[in-house]
Structure 1
Amino acid sequence: MLSPSSGLPGLFPLPYELGLRRLRDDFGLEAVEYELTPASAYRDVDRPWEEPRTFETEPDMEPAEGWSWHNADRVVEGAGWGGSLETLSWLLMADRTVQPAVSYSGNVLFLETSEEMPGAQEVYRILRSMGERGLLKEFPALLMGRAKSWSFDNPLTAPEKAHFRSQQREAVLRALHEYAPDTMAVFDIELGHTDPQVVIPVGGRIRVDGPARRVVVTY
């Protein structure tokens, strides 16, 4: 689940899994597995809210190329942890809410970048800092959300958008190669700042099956 506070990784020392279990017990809910599937189309071009037509017509969608996999030769299952890459970088700089790296051992990391569209170099530098802190190597799997590649301040063309996303992917792979060469990664998951969006259960179980190319989350 996501909440206004759950988007802040490591905010609470209580393991997220225990919190989810407590909610299920209190409300008599059963854990539910849900398989994520690649979208056939996506949208990241915003429309002006001040225009009535924005709310009268469906937004234009673009073809999605599906997910891309890296080191997809194993099955990883662990608690989900992560969020906005930029927000996580601020929390790391503050050094107040992120737990010691070993606390996340075996978890599944998920990350996405915001509508501010940080460049590939910035993405690499943040991940490099996480690597120097010993964080990246603790996660045997990474789910990377599809990068938002258009904004009113930076309205890229279709070829420019594709290049932007490709450069970000290469930046992530560069950091993984240097600090977590064995980590499995899945790119362009439908989480973050593009549509459609899936809800990732912070603290819920995530199973990443590389050989079968499947991702299953538990709420």
Structure 2
Amino acid sequence: MSDSFSARRQLFQSALFQDQVADRLELDRGLVYPAINAMLQADMIPCRLSRNHKALATDGAMILAAIGGRQSLAASIVRVGCAVCAMNMQHEIGAPQRGSGADMFPTSASFSFGTDVAEVLLNLWRISRGSSTKGFKGVTIGIYWSDVLGSTLFGAIEQPSLGRKRTYATQALPAPPGGGDWEFIQMSAVGGTLYSPMSILRFGALLDTSVEETAAAI
């Protein structure tokens, strides 16, 4: 067990940290506490990646997925949270913006929803350590389900002002008729969680400052 792993585990177990997560995300503590604790007990967080920044970003993505799934039972929190992180990208709308080093939108080839959310956090930390935040572009992160049974889970990372969006699902979504690209995507969802750009900024900053001067520092 590495010193970084131990430091992150101690942080995530802290009632103060869990309080701060609820505050930064503007969500009820009754939703946040069970989600983080279920993932801790299932050994899903902290992860065992060797590089501190990637490990913390991966943990952050898993925490957002666990909370966003809005489950109450520990087993359901873990099952849905892991399924959310494993969602595959289905469609992408919009082109990368050139000349903006302060863009949080993921640009790497997508491996899963979880890795793309982790990239959003990595981009935020890169921007915060840069010489300028001019042209800063945040994102929204959404987690949704198709019915009360959660038969299909959806996800979205979006920059509405620039018309950029990546959509994800646990099942394959239909391709545009006749080929080409969708001009917009409407997901048939009955519930979910939407993280605003400001809540993501606050959550990312909390992760960053909480590991300062520890073995998990980035």
What band does the TM-score fall into relative to the shorter chain? under 0.3
| More helix per residue | 2
TM-score normalised according to structure 2 size: 0.21
TM-score normalised according to structure 1 size: 0.21
| More strand per residue | 1
Higher RCO, Cα 8 Å, sep 6+:
1
